[in-house]
Structure 1
Amino acid sequence: MSPTARPFLMFQGRCAEALAFYEASVPDTRILALERKPDGTVAMARLSVAGLEVMANDSPPVHDFTFTPSLSIFLEVDESEAVDALAGALGEGGKVMMPPGDYGFAPRFAWVQDRFDVSWQIIAR
């Protein structure tokens, strides 16, 4: 039996909100499955982000850590304008770590942390 590997995002009570935000903000993204606990939080979810399947849930215990920007979702797009649009949408209410620009390794690149503390690198091919 071959193993499978997927990124896993652990939220604290905002998983469904985050997944709906990603579905609305990132082209070719959709929620594949979402199972709720009796209290309404997410027990387990699967999201397809531009072909990458991501798992997510709301952590049952409260913890004092969140996401680190050293692990990020890397989006490749065809147009420089798409970098700006995605960085603007995903970075709204979050943090811009590297604003859209030419950093020498691509015609357009941006790195943002969204309002849920998930980090996104966006690059024009």
Structure 2
Amino acid sequence: MIIQPYLHFEGRCEEAIEFYKQAVGATVEMLMRYRDSPEPPVTGCEPQGDYQEKIIHSSFRIGESVVNATDGFNSGQSSFKGFSLSLTVGSDAEANKRFDALAVGGQVTMPLSKTFFTSSFGMLTDKFGVNWMILTVPQ
């Protein structure tokens, strides 16, 4: 069994994917636009506005993990509450690099610092509203 996060960017999925490519080295494994779907959206689940170029489904790899993402209903109002993506890296230098990159345009909620459980830990909300926890592998 596998659990993978599925993020709904509500119209900003492509922008988010490009951001994560730069910030955390994400690599796209699959990307399908609504126009490429063999079937129209299910009645009642149609995205808002001009959605044909929007992303119906994508998956991208960050390290050993896969994140799925979509433009969803293309509402322009994404909401990521009640969870964080936790990114564990191998060194303090890597933690700093990834933390700083994800923080661009976002908000730091806990600066990256030494804690009782690891040499680097910090929390932030990126510019898309996704909450992140960055930490190094405990030594």
Give TM class, smaller chain: 0.7 to 0.9
The counterpart of 1:94, out of the listed 102, 106, 123, is 106
Secondary structure of 1:88 counterpart = helix
Is the Cα contact below 8 Å between 2:120 and 2:136 reproduced in 1? Answer: yes
How does the TM-score come out when normalised to structure 2? 0.79
Cα 1:96–1:34 change in 2 (3 A) is: same
Is the Cα contact below 8 Å between 2:11 and 2:74 reproduced in 1? Answer: no
Secondary structure of 2:122 counterpart = strand
Is the Cα contact below 8 Å between 2:10 and 2:77 reproduced in 1? Answer: no
Which one-letter code corresponds to 2:129 in the other structure?
Answer: D
Secondary structure of 1:120 counterpart = strand
Using the aligned pairs only, state the percent identity.
28
Is the Cα contact below 8 Å between 2:11 and 2:75 reproduced in 1? Answer: no
Cα RMSD, aligned residues only: 1.7
How does the TM-score come out when normalised to structure 1? 0.87
Q: 1:9 matched to which residue of 2?
A: 7
Is the Cα contact below 8 Å between 2:8 and 2:78 reproduced in 1? Answer: no
The yes-or-no answer on 1:82 pairing with 2:87 is no
The yes-or-no answer on 1:56 pairing with 2:64 is no
Unaligned runs of 5+ in 2: 36-51
Is the Cα contact below 8 Å between 2:23 and 2:102 reproduced in 1? Answer: yes
The yes-or-no answer on 1:33 pairing with 2:46 is no
Unaligned runs of 5+ in 1: none
Higher normalized strand content (fraction of residues): 1
**Following TM superposition, where does structure 1 have runs of at least 4 consecutive aligned residues deviating by more than 4 angstroms?**
none
Which one-letter code corresponds to 1:32 in the other structure?
Answer: E
When structure 1 is superposed on structure 2, of 80-89 and 53-62 the one drifting more is 53-62
CA distance in 2, matches of 1:58, 1:73: 19
Q: Whose Rg is larger?
A: 2
The counterpart of 2:22, out of the listed 21, 24, 28, is 24
Cα distance, 1:32 vs structure 2: 0.6
The counterpart of 2:123, out of the listed 101, 106, 111, is 111
CA distance in 2, matches of 1:100, 1:80: 9
